[in-house]
Amino acid sequence: MSARLPSLWKRLSSTISPRPAPPKAHHHAPIPDAAFPSGYVLTGLHCGIKKTGALDLAVILSTTPKPASAAACFTRNAFKAAPVVVSEEVLQRNASTARALVVNSGCANAVTGKQGMEDAWAMVRATDALLGCSAKESETLVMSTGVIGQTLPISKVLAGIESQSSDSQTKSLGSDFTAWERAAKAFMTTDTFPKLRARTFSIDGREYKMAGMDKGAGMIHPDMGPPRTAGQLHATLLGCIMTDAAVSPRSLQSALTYAVDRSFNSISVDGDMSTNDTIVVLANGSAASDPAAEIDEERDPRTYQLFRDELTTFAADLAQLVVRDGEGATKFVTVSVNGAATYEDAHRIASRISTSALVKTALYGQDANWGRILAATGSVPLSVPIDPTRVSVSFIPTDGSPALPLLVNGEPETVDEARAKEIISVEDLEIEVQLGIGSENAKYWTCDFSYEYVRINGDYRS
């Protein structure tokens, strides 16, 4: 068998050579302190879960007198990790408000039975204790990511949280860029860069800020819903967004659900849904002392919609960072499905194309194989069936040069293969499928499937 290996390597390298992932470090850069929302302190530290000594615990506190409005979307997987179950419970007990978020990486606390539940609650209580006497019980949300089926080294985790108490010498909570960056780093597992973004926006002349972080590189195909929908589970996509806007809890949840569908639920690295996927948003209202300024869908649908759209594009920015950092990814591909009868139909096709192993290996091989895109498009059951004679497929270059039609109204174009190769050899690419049935559109973001993906995931646990 070993005698055959060299020839196999030779065969591998003689056809498509492994292309290294493009540089990714530039996706993380310093952000001015003033860009972050007020009323939050946070940190990231090494408590001892990761053997490498890397940061593995993030603590995020809202410092406003009133608890922040809190909303979350959790994985719909049936095997809920303990932190998912506990966070849902916390949101329910506190009528969708919270004051803190505690996050560990390196251990998912999933499929860990009763011990896992006790550990997640212990993390909540320890973080509650940092909030001072104004806090009620259980005002902390909790998230975990890492290996499934192992219990947390809970005493190390609790010691880490306690190191942030007000009388501690080792307290590192802060509100500047460094503090936000440390927290973002503590989210990381197989990520190659911390994922942190901030934005300032205005609604009716009032200025607000929003900042957020997330993590994820593999087991990325989230399908998250609001709390207490049927059958959620555990997840490897974690994210949180903090804003100083004042938003009613119900409207915050409704805006997040809308935003997550169009961001985190529209990305795929490998098509695998995790048992811990969680996105949390906190809105502490510290930007406005005027109570009338609270954004609420029923009171003022227009300002609500403006906020919802800000949250959606911000969430999409964060979600796309995960695809950029997809395990082994050398391409960042936007899949646009336009002209569908319903948003769900468009989303379903975009998801299928984005998870097709044949499409993704063709992208890695830089082969403009539109037949595979078409086969994936046609394999999805829809509410209104496809009319093949109306379907068009194009490559949209990301340098602003003209689109390259591959198929127009069901008929293959005579494709300029050199031009196609040119477009597909750039890191960023958009594939557009026009169905020609209706007016609904959906976007999905995906990456390619490389040798490196096989290496990383053939070898994860060791």
Q: Is 374 in the site for its own copies (CB under 8 A)?
A: yes
Cβ neighbours for 188, distance < 8 A, ≥ 6 positions apart: 54, 55, 105, 194, 215
- Interatomic CA distance for residues 421 and 187, integer angstroms: 37
Instruction: Write down the least CB distance from residue 111 to its own copies, Å.
Output: 6
Contact 180, 31 (CB under 8 A): yes
Among 113, 168, 416, 425, binds its own copies (CB under 8 A): 113
Q: Is 118 annotated as a binding residue?
A: no
For 26, phi then psi, to 5°, come to: -70, -10
For residue 45, the SS3 value is strand
Map the footprint of its own copies across residues 23-42, applying CB under 8 A: none
Question: In angstroms, what is the minimal distance from the CB of 4 to its own copies?
Answer: 5
By C-beta, is 82 or 282 nearer to its own copies?
82
Q: Which of 32, 381, 400, 402 binds its own copies (CB under 8 A)?
A: 381
5 touches its own copies (CB under 8 A): yes
Minimum CB distance to its own copies smaller for 3 or for 29: 3
Verify binding: residue 129, its own copies, rule CB under 8 A.
no
Q: Is residue 4 close enough to count as binding its own copies by CB under 8 A?
A: yes
Confirm or deny that 215 is annotated as ligand binding. yes
Contacts to its own copies from residues 298-357, by CB under 8 A = 355-357
Q: What angle do CA 250, 105, 76 make, to 5 degrees?
A: 45
Secondary structure (DSSP) of 67-135 = PEEEEEEEE--SS--HHHHHHHHHHHHTTSEESEEEEEEEE---S-HHHHHHHHHHHHHHHHGGG-TT-
Strands of the sheet containing 428-434, edge to edge, are 267-268, 440-447, 332-340, 428-434, 392-397, 404-408, 411-412
Size of the site for its own copies (CB under 8 A): 82
330 annotated ligand-binding residue = no
Ordered alpha helix ranges (H), 15-80: none
Rounded CA-CA distance 443/39 in Å is 34
Binders of its own copies among 240-279, rule CB under 8 A?
270-275
Of 155, 231, 290, 401, the one binding its own copies by CB under 8 A? 231
Could you tell me the smallest distance in angstroms from the CB atom of residue 314 to its own copies? Answer: 26
Q: Are 235 and 277 in contact (CB under 8 A)?
A: yes
Catalytic residue among 75, 112, 145, 236: 236
Q: Choose between 310 and 327: whose C-beta lies nearer to its own copies.
A: 327
SS3 content of the chain, % helix, strand, coil (to 5): 35, 25, 40
Question: What does the radius of gyration of the chain's CA atoms come to, in whole angstroms?
Answer: 23
Where does residue 68 rank: exposed (0-12), middle (13-18), buried (19+ CB within 10 A)? Answer: buried
Least CB distance to its own copies at residue 87 (A): 17
Residue (379 or 401) nearer to its own copies, CB: 379
Q: Which range binds its own copies by CB under 8 A, 18-26, 64-72, 196-204, 248-256?
A: 18-26
Q: In what order do the strands lie in the sheet with 40-45?
A: 40-45, 57-62, 100-107, 140-147
Query: Which span sits near its own copies by CB under 8 A: 5-13, 183-191, 281-289, 291-299?
Result: 5-13
386: contact with its own copies by CB under 8 A? yes
* From 24-32, 121-129, 223-231, 339-347, span contacting its own copies (CB under 8 A): 223-231
Instruction: Give the separation between CA 220 and CA 449, rounded to whole angstroms.
Output: 13
Query: Is 327 a known ligand-binding residue?
Result: yes
CB nearer to its own copies: pick between 111 and 288: 111
Least Cβ distance, residue 385 to its own copies (angstroms) = 5
Q: Binding residue per annotation — 236? A: yes
Q: How far is the CB of 228 from its own copies (least distance, A)?
A: 14
Does the protein bind its own copies through residue 16 (CB under 8 A)?
A: yes
Measured from the CB atom, the residue of 212 and 216 that comes closer to its own copies is: 216
Q: How near is the Cβ of 25 to its own copies at its closest, in Å?
A: 14
211 DSSP β-pair partners: 198, 242
- Residue 289 labelled as part of a binding site: no
CA distance 109 to 85: 11
112 is annotated as an active-site residue: no
Phi then psi for residue 274, to 5 deg, are -85, 170
What separation in angstroms does the CA of 377 have from each of 231, 251, 342, 362? 28, 35, 15, 15
Show the site string, 146-175: x = touches its own copies by CB under 8 A, - = not: -xxx--------------------------
Nearest CA to 432 among 450, 407, 449? 407
Active site residues per annotation: 236
Annotated binding site for substrate: 189, 215, 236, 327, 457, 462
Annotated binding site: 189, 215, 236, 327, 457, 462
